[in-house]
Structure 1
């Protein structure tokens, strides 16, 4: 670590002498240097008086009055996870691939415990993203033939003179269209132009991040000095929300950072600071001696012993003390720091080593919605017209569509001319794109071959076949949903609901107010009565129950029967019944309540002490009442999420044994029927699926 700040006294004098053109000029320049030195000495005599800044408006409840901070180095694994989760996108702009990596610097700085302006003031500490290998969909690879913003800037950097000084600038006028496109792209992203039109499967980056380790030094009125690798830090006083101290004047402010603590240990937000160069007695003496030397130089100019700038330069080199330049090294400063609230104690975070370069090899893979003979939407960079390329980067459908042309799914595309929306179907057999007389209501492909459609001017839903582009179910329904992998739930224009099979044959007529499809049965509600129908449309429950919860699971159905008591109150009883409507489990008689339908052969119930447990289809307690909270078993993992009596969360198996315990408090729970799609999210920003496998955390 080198501390290499200078007051530039010598350089000022030598520069002055080089610019002087006459005796008058020489004398004026020497006088300027004398006055500068006297000003520095006078400044060192000025005692800065500090008073407590007002704290009347300070609120310990206001988050902006505090800042997050960390002194320990962030782990390599945490940094790798961050870089691995960055969003990288690619777009084909023939004959190029445009690649954009979202650097997400704010979150990176939060992870590192740095302020949001850290990279702005320390450009040398920013991560560098260097592409190492591009792998294409056709299996070929390359590691060259690309442009970055830095390479473009280097190519077009020019040097010009202004008032005798050189300065560099990037000549944008000399750039071609591609170079301007990359150079002017968002600085929040790392942008690349790859000289190939072939679709990319993956990119490998080497990401380099300089990371300085830090040590936190605590000071107090009783122990005001600490020795650091840069020199001594001394606390002078704490008054209210201000700290007065003396410390080494380091080259980079990041090397020594003050931390002021509120009485509860939180770090207060810094609101401002001011500082003065600290002059030691020895340095002051050198400056005073140098003033005398400059006065003698003036005498030499007046006596014509020094006539030119070269003469002055030689004279100063002979007569100036060699120790003067050494006096400029190891500079110190006195500083006042102002914080958001009253300061209780102070620490200094000191970088105690040269930043260590952390290198990460990260692969980013692009997901394509591929189909046999799939084509890839691309924009001709020069013509700004859209068409389709194959895996080899060759045009199969020539560019002919406007800049609004967008992919909906692998069979349908969309564009807009003025206020008119157009939908197109791609025919892979004929290599043509055809306009259709409907628009896509939902881009998802259902049952492997269908999409939901609606009229071009909005309206009722129908179904089209992706293989032909033809309408197979007229646009006559208020809504349509494909569920249980074999049925279409549908709502007619009059609001009544029913069920169609996968061939669009009516299974349950459109005469119900509400219909739910539960795997092997239908729950249909009409005139405030819910009944269960089998897959043939036969009513199994015949209006016997006031409420039905889910369908048949493990051969049993959870129901509620209500009776009016003489006093006018309603008495509700809950049962599990079989398909012949025989009561198999009388929940109230066993003292159980708040039951849930069976899942994986077990049903969640609650006892009179509000403890959760699980029963089997025989009505026996299979897993004891030992949970504060619990969910039904997942049909995929055969596990259940529970809250233990010590408030921790865990996944248990069907024997009640813990297979995965979590260390944080539950934040959110998104249950999905699809395998490994459930998300169990915790407040420490970790996320798991229903198997207890950690997955990427998302905030949505």
Structure 2
């Protein structure tokens, strides 16, 4: 299995999400109560669950409800939500009883929890759904694009796509609409100037003028990334460029995507990596792989994880059960022991933990002596 998180076009029958490991990184159940930190005036023992920090805040659960703390351990958002998102661009989606709203970093609700669905803010706008109609709100909670559309996709730069009365349109931030000339069944968001479309069961791309520039002939297409798009026909995948030219032949299984200049590819359940010319630069010999990040990729050999560089050289031996990357530091767990390594495999801290998670916002969540707490990049406990 190629392990990654990718954005598929919205006309997929189901959302593709391939997790990085078996443990749920976003919601950590504490097996035992945690001791009060001697470095903080806040007791972590109260919390039933904790999350890694994201954008300055961490989710914590108390009495079955979730709130947020800051890096001082102060409760910024009361424990009153069932399913909040992490903060992004200064706001977080929150959910109670299957109704969605938004809060700011002070815990103030900028909209009541009245929507049937909501997505994170991007570029000052958030997509919302009410009574099966789609629209957008601004950072004050005002519906700047009316919630009247049958379908809408997130903005990419200045443009988005919406469907009204069976007709697709390209819209700008002022809700000015331009009719799409092709009779598209489905249109996705723009990336690198092109948006995936689907007509009569086949997929291609249109440009920002609404003209079809890559004819719908594929079974499945993904948004362009790094100048190339992954496309699938007859259960085989390859890559095309923005002119529609096949750059990498459609000979691979799965749905590869380029990241950090290389793409993980799969044939006969063995994985390797190709460059943007389609050249196989790392042989297909691994059981599973992670995408490259900061010049390294995790690979599985005999169900153990190690790291290779872009030359295919093994930098960190495959002896670990779990890995967690973040901010240039690698958290590893093997034989019940967790530690942190740099990109050469050197151990960064003398401490050994029972479990670790990757660094985010300059801190990492670790478990030691049955207790969960946060450390900084010097290995010092900060909360």
Same fold (TM over 0.5): yes
Partner of 2:333: none
Partner of 1:558: 161
| TM-score between the two structures when normalised by the length of structure 2 | 0.55
CA apart distance, 1:600: 1.9
1:622 aligns with 2:225: no
Partner of 2:46: 438
Partner of 2:270: 685
Contact 1:558/1:596 (CA < 8 Å) preserved in 2?
Answer: yes
Contact 1:597/1:604 (CA < 8 Å) preserved in 2?
Answer: yes
1:580-659 equivalences in 2 (<5 Å): 580-587=174-181, 590-608=182-200, 610-634=201-225, 637-643=226-232, 648-659=236-247
C-alpha distance in 2, partners of 1:606/1:558? 14
Q: Indicate the structure (1 or 2) with the bigger Cα radius of gyration.
A: 1
Cα 1:453–1:554 shift into 2, 3 Å? closer
CA apart distance, 1:697: 5.5
C-alpha distance in 1, partners of 2:142/2:52? 32
Larger strand proportion, structure 1 or 2?
2
SS at match of 1:618: coil
Gaps of 5+ in 1: 1-407, 417-421, 563-571
Partner of 1:222: none
Which of the numbers 453, 456, 461 marks the counterpart of 2:60? Answer: 453
C-alpha distance in 1, partners of 2:53/2:262? 18
Cα 1:663–1:613 shift into 2, 3 Å? closer
Contact 1:484/1:518 (CA < 8 Å) preserved in 2?
Answer: yes
Cα 1:484–1:623 shift into 2, 3 Å? farther
CA apart distance, 1:437: 4.8
CA deviations 1:436-470 (Å, max 9, x no partner) are: 352252432211x4221112xx411011223x233
1:389-404 equivalences in 2 (<5 Å): none
Contact 1:554/1:617 (CA < 8 Å) preserved in 2?
Answer: no
Cα 1:481–1:656 shift into 2, 3 Å? same
Cα 1:542–1:444 shift into 2, 3 Å? same
Partner of 1:541: 145
CA apart distance, 1:642: 0.8
1:489 aligns with 2:80: no
Partner of 2:122: 519
Q: Report how many aligned residue pairs link the two structures.
A: 259
SS at match of 2:148: coil
CA apart distance, 1:603: 0.9
SS at match of 2:82: strand
Contact 1:439/1:454 (CA < 8 Å) preserved in 2?
Answer: yes
Larger helix proportion, structure 1 or 2?
1
SS at match of 1:654: coil
1:38-117 equivalences in 2 (<5 Å): none
Which of the numbers 480, 501, 510 marks the counterpart of 2:113? Answer: 510
Partner of 1:423: 34
Cα 1:627–1:415 shift into 2, 3 Å? closer
Contact 1:518/1:551 (CA < 8 Å) preserved in 2?
Answer: no
SS at match of 1:598: coil
Cα 1:614–1:415 shift into 2, 3 Å? closer
Root-mean-square deviation over aligned CA pairs: 4.0
C-alpha distance in 2, partners of 1:578/1:558? 9
Cα 1:489–1:585 shift into 2, 3 Å? same
Cα 1:485–1:580 shift into 2, 3 Å? closer
Partner of 1:79: none
